[in-house]
Structure 1
Amino acid sequence: MISRFGLVKRKTGLDDEAFLSHWRGTHGPLAARLPGLRSYYQHRIEDARQFGVDHPRGGWDLDGFSELQFDSVGAMKAAIASPEFAPTVEDVAKFLGEIRLVVCEKNVVVPLALGDGPFVKRMSILRRHPHVSPADFRREWQERHAEFVRHWPNVLGYTQNLVIDRYSAMAETAAYEAVPVDGIVEFWFRSKDDVAALFKSDLVARTQEHAHSFIAEITTYFVETVQIA
């Protein structure tokens, strides 16, 4: 399973209500028609504060993340080569001022178990240190770092999305410098209070000490997620 994430910023002059209405009501149904699409989520940013982590924040200024899931990279490329893709490209200019995209391999570390209670979702953008190779980043994140997080209490779910390709526009591949993202984190917790308490613990302090060895920037967001397809 792969995810194609859009890192989106609304068009200048468009307020949050109009942006959200167009994204969910107009653009969502267009993208949902793509052949081979397994799932489609829109993650609206509701809190852009740097929360919990002590890493520097990246230069991202976003309003949301789109997420289109496909069985494979080949299935995704077939979708963006299809006739159904063109209307989504034309529509982007009507409500987005900027979009960058990353294609990711999903790695579920803590399977999602929300139960019946309330929950919050936090997403983070990761950038590796310049001296850390992509292969070393992958190993440190998916092996040692993941093992740390498996032992955290009060985590309802944790998924790592490793970037394997980048786009500076809807269908134009880009160099790393144009879209400097190495991973996207998805965390689920019962509440922000649980997050705050957890990130004050010694266990998380040890995890973050390890994170500093290979991650240069972490940009955190709390999001509201809606499934479109």
Structure 2
Amino acid sequence: MTAVELFDPFSRKAGISIAEFSHHWITHHAEIVTRIPRVRRYIQSLRLEVAVPSGADRFPAPRWDGCAETGHDDPSSIAAMVDEPLFGELMADERNFLDLSAGRDLIVTTETVLDEDGFDPRVRGVKMMLFARRHPSSSPSDFRRSWEADLAAAGRTLGVTRHVVCTAIGDVHRAADAASTDANAQPAAAQGFSGVRELWWPDIASLTASIGRHPDLIRRIVAPEGVDPARSTTLVVRERVIVP
């Protein structure tokens, strides 16, 4: 397991279909990423069109089409990627298929696996990603205590096969600025995302049925005390593991 995980959610460039976006991402762009030595793990999560039942729908609709997740040895390794010979090629290729008109919501995190006893890595299923912002009334320490609480049993009741909680660390905005690909992009928000929670189900039917049966329980998991729902969002995806 890598020491830190970098989440990079983004939207496709105007004028290209989700199929074109997906094909370019998994082929040409992924090939560049896999040649960067500092990237220890690489996962692509592509958005699925899913109507999430009441319980997880209290968040604003996501504006992204996917999220890249890369594993690194430490936070300094992420910032040092700008010195990699392939970094310029990677940034240039982003202009071919990504919408770079808005600021990037890069999130540098540590990862804790709460539960994966029921997970089959050969199948993987579908994944819900919660991008959470800390509520202004909650201190960072109180948020972390609530965010990292052991909710594995609650997840199992929902039929979750894998449950991972990631907490933001370090100077996220400096890392975001270092990775910016567009001089005209808007700056990041004053407070970036505070964490990412990942929940896996065997399939979409299992996800929607379990949330529909237990709306209060899913709220307890995706919006524990300290999360600001109005500034958080969820994304339902199918993931592709490029570099395990």
What range is the shorter-chain TM-score in?
0.7 to 0.9
Equivalent residue for 1:131, pick from 137, 157, 170: 137
- Asked if the contact 1:126/1:215 (under 8 Å) is kept, the reply is yes
- Stretch deviating more after TM superposition (159-168 or 63-72): 159-168
What is aligned with 2:233? Answer: 219
Shift of 1:34: 1.3
- Asked if the contact 1:51/1:220 (under 8 Å) is kept, the reply is no
Query: Structure 1 stretches of 5 or more lacking a match?
Result: none
Taking the aligned partners of 1:48 and 1:7, their CA distance within structure 2 comes to: 18
What is aligned with 2:189? Answer: 177
SS at match of 1:143: coil
AA in 1 matched with 2:159: N
Shift of 1:67: 0.8
Taking the aligned partners of 1:60 and 1:14, their CA distance within structure 2 comes to: 18
- Stretch deviating more after TM superposition (163-172 or 3-12): 163-172
What is aligned with 1:34? Answer: 36
AA in 1 matched with 2:109: C
Equivalent residue for 1:186, pick from 198, 201, 207: 198
What is aligned with 1:75? Answer: 77
Query: Structure 2 stretches of 5 or more lacking a match?
Result: 181-185
Taking the aligned partners of 1:188 and 1:29, their CA distance within structure 2 comes to: 26
Q: Deviations over 1:103-125 (max 9, x none)?
A: 11111111364237672222121
SS at match of 1:74: helix
Q: If the length of structure 2 is used for normalisation, what is the TM-score?
A: 0.79
How many correspondences in the alignment?
A: 226
Shift of 1:79: 2.8
The answer to whether residue 122 in structure 2 is matched with residue 141 in structure 1 is no
What is aligned with 1:100? Answer: 105
Shift of 1:7: 0.9
Taking the aligned partners of 1:186 and 1:221, their CA distance within structure 2 comes to: 10
What is aligned with 1:208? Answer: 219
Q: Deviations over 1:88-139 (max 9, x none)?
A: 1111111111343111111111136423767222212112222112221111
Q: Deviations over 1:188-213 (max 9, x none)?
A: 112333333433556x6256358353
AA in 2 matched with 1:208: R
Shift of 1:169: 4.9
AA in 2 matched with 1:195: L
The CA RMSD over aligned residues, in Å, is: 2.8
SS at match of 1:91: helix
Shift of 1:65: 0.1
Q: Which has the higher strand share?
A: 1
AA in 1 matched with 2:133: R
- Asked if the contact 2:52/2:208 (under 8 Å) is kept, the reply is no
